[in-house]
Structure 1
Amino acid sequence: MARPLRFRRSPERWTASRVHDQLFTDLDDNLGATAVDPTFRPAGEWETRRFEMDNDDVALFIWDDDAAYWMGNTETPSALWRTDKYDWGEVPYQVARWAQRELLADLHEESPWLEPYPHVSWFFLPVFMSKDGRHTTREFFRDHAAGFPDAGRDEGLGFYEEFLSTGVLDEYRDEMSGKLGTSPQFDLVRMSSAMAEFTAAKLLTDAGYQVTPEIEVTTGHSLDFRAAKGNHQPLVEVTRPLPPTQRAADTAVAAVRETAETKTSGQLSEHGGGAVLFVDCSSFHDDQWRAVRGEQPEVRHRPAVVYRVRPNGHAEGYTKGAVPLDLDGAIEWV
């Protein structure tokens, strides 16, 4: 399975004739390719090429006298096999900006319903345009409201657009967008679980915390977030139960208990305590959440926050144990 889009950097000298002979010819022989003028021009003294394959793959190449950069959701020509890979923030700004403009234009032409959501489009561009995940990730947002049940596409997209527009996760874009995955097989459960981390980050941000994802702990694991407010920096781990119609548990209450038990008997148990468990029930329908809200089941870990968020931004939930976070401004307690 291919990863989210990244750049390959070649430190060698490139010319237009070499690009044709070693890149275009390779692509054309294997896939059928057309070399076209890019839609945009980068700032600076860069040469650029765009390759469009017969199977709808696309590749970009940009070079100057010092280095060259390749990006594509297609096979890599053999001349670039030994090159190193770089994330978007690790290449010159002009290179990243040019590639971004080219691919965003492609994305919005192919999926015009994403154009009103520029921050969602930009943040998830590495997966929306990836080799293996470009269809499934767009389907998740288009047809499943980014994991919200009983909601329309615009409601789900609007929720994450509002949050991502704050920029609090921009620094972690490569890491966080990749959580959505680049699998050619559609997996609603896995992608909904990935979005639970974005929902948790929004709740923490709304409550005034600065979030840092993927915090390594002494057990060799990583927990989802550090939530910092002054010198107070608790760790947070997020889990998202499947609604009972999608799992063996036949009730919403059982689903919450079983999912939380899996998390607490594994990663949190090895961590040795101290982290706050966030149990995100946002995949539950209204009646399922009402059952959980009414019974408020234990989740075998303390401290814990069990909550459900709706795409209009309203969140309600309950706590177990002494939660070292002030979430009063973000969650309505029930």
Structure 2
Amino acid sequence: MASPLRFRRSTERWDDDRIDREVYADLDENLGAASPTPHYSGPNGYRTRRFEMDNGDFALFAWNDEEAFWLGNTETPSALWRTTKYTFDEVPYPIARWAQRELLADLAVESPWLAEYDYVSWFFLPVFLSKDGRESTRTFFRDHAAGFPDATRDEGLEFYERFLRTGALDDYRYTMASKLGTSQHVDPSRMSSAMSEFTVAKLLTDAGYDVTPEIEVTTGHSLDFRADPAAGTSGGSVLVEVTRPRPPRRRGADNPVTALRETAETKTNGQLSEHGGGAVLFVDCSGFRDDDWTAIAGEKPEVRHRPAVVFRARPDGRVEGYAKGSVPLSLDGALTWV
């Protein structure tokens, strides 16, 4: 499975003749290629090329006398195999800005329903146009409402658009976008679980915390987040782990309470047991339909870990939940306790 889009940087000398010989000719021989004019002018101090393959792949190339940058969801020409890979945040800003404008223009043509969701389009661009995941990731948002049952595509997109617009995860864009994956196959369960981390990040942000993802702990594991009080407020850092039960209609569990307990038990018997306590477990029931959530909210079952927050978010922003144990987070402004 190919990874999300990243640049390759070359420090060798490049010119049009060499690019034609070692890049364009390589692509054309293997895939059939054209080299149309890029959509946008390149950054000052760089020359640019665009390549489009017969199978729908694309590639961008920008260079000057000191360095060159390649970005594409296609086969990498052999002349660039030994180059180092960089994320959008790790290359010069003018290069990243030009490339992203090119890609967003492509995305707007290929998936016009995404065009009005600027932040979703930008944030997930590394996977929306990745080699293997370009179809599956967009299909997940289009056909599965980003994991919300009984919701429209636009309702799911608007929920995450509102959150991503805050910029709370901008510094961790590549880490978080990569969680959606770049598989050629749509896996709604796995992808919905990835989006649960975004939902919890939104909940924590709405409650006034700063979130940092992928926190390494002494057991060698990584927990999903560290939540830190905003500057000027009291309290210490809190580690957070997220899990998402599958709705009971998609598993062997007899009822929603059993589904909740089984999934939470898997998490608590794994990472959280080895961590030795201290982390808050967030159990995201956003995939449960109204009647299933009503049963859970009425019984408020244990999840075999404390402290824990069991919650359900709706696309319009409403969040309900209950807590087990002493949760060292102030969440009153972010959810309604049931």
With normalisation by structure 1, the TM-score equals: 0.99
Aligned to 1:265: 269
**RMSD between superposed Cα atoms in Å:** 0.6
Q: In structure 2, what is the Cα distance between the partners aligned to 1:80 and 1:15?
A: 14
Aligned 8 A contact 2:73 2:129 in 1:
yes
- Matches for 1:91-106 after TM superposition, within 5 Å: 91-106=91-106
Structure 1: how far apart are the matches of 2:200 and 2:178?
17
Aligned to 2:21: 21
Partner of 2:239 in structure 1? Answer: 235
Q: Partner of 2:116: helix, strand, or coil?
A: coil
Query: Which secondary structure does the structure 2 equivalent of 1:180 belong to?
Result: coil
The answer to whether the Cα contact below 8 Å between 1:42 and 1:97 also exists between their aligned partners in 2 is no
The reply to whether residue 322 of structure 1 matches residue 331 of structure 2 is no
1:57 aligns with 2:57: yes
Change (3 A) 1:66 1:231: farther
1:44 aligns with 44
Counterparts of 1:103-142 in structure 2 under 5 Å? 103-142=103-142
State the number of aligned residues: 334
Deviation at 1:48, TM superposition (A): 0.5
What are the superposed Cα offsets for residues 77-109 of structure 1, whole Å, 9 maximum, x if unpaired?
011011110111110111100110000000010
State the secondary structure of the residue aligned to 1:3.
Answer: coil
Runs of 4+ in 1 over 2 A off after TM superposition: none
Measure the CA separation in 2 of the matches of 1:287 and 1:20.
62
Match of residue 208 from structure 2? 208
SS at match of 1:312: coil
- In terms of mean alpha carbon deviation, does 38-47 or 8-17 score higher? 38-47
Once the two structures are superposed, residues 247-276 of structure 1 have per-residue CA deviations (whole angstroms, 9 ceiling, x without a partner) of 121211111000000000000000000000
Inter-partner Cα distance in structure 1 for 2:278 and 2:89: 33
Letter in 1 for 2:162: E
> What is aligned with 1:298?
302
One-letter amino acid of the counterpart of residue 258, structure 1: E
What is the aligned counterpart of 1:310 among 277, 299, 314?
314
CA distance in 1 between partners of 2:169 and 2:155 (Å): 21
What does residue 181 of structure 2 align with?
A: 181
Matched letter for residue 103 of structure 1: L
Q: Give the deviation of 1:246 after TM superposition.
A: 1.3
- Distance in structure 2 (CA, Å) of the matches to 1:253 and 1:246: 14
1:42 Cα offset (Å): 2.3
Post-superposition shift, 1:231?
4.6
Deviations 1:14-44 (A, max 9, x none): 0011000000000000000001110101221
Q: TM-score, with normalisation over the residues of structure 2?
A: 0.98
8 Å CA contact 2:13, 2:65 repeated in 1: yes
Give secondary structure in 2 for the equivalent of 1:279: strand
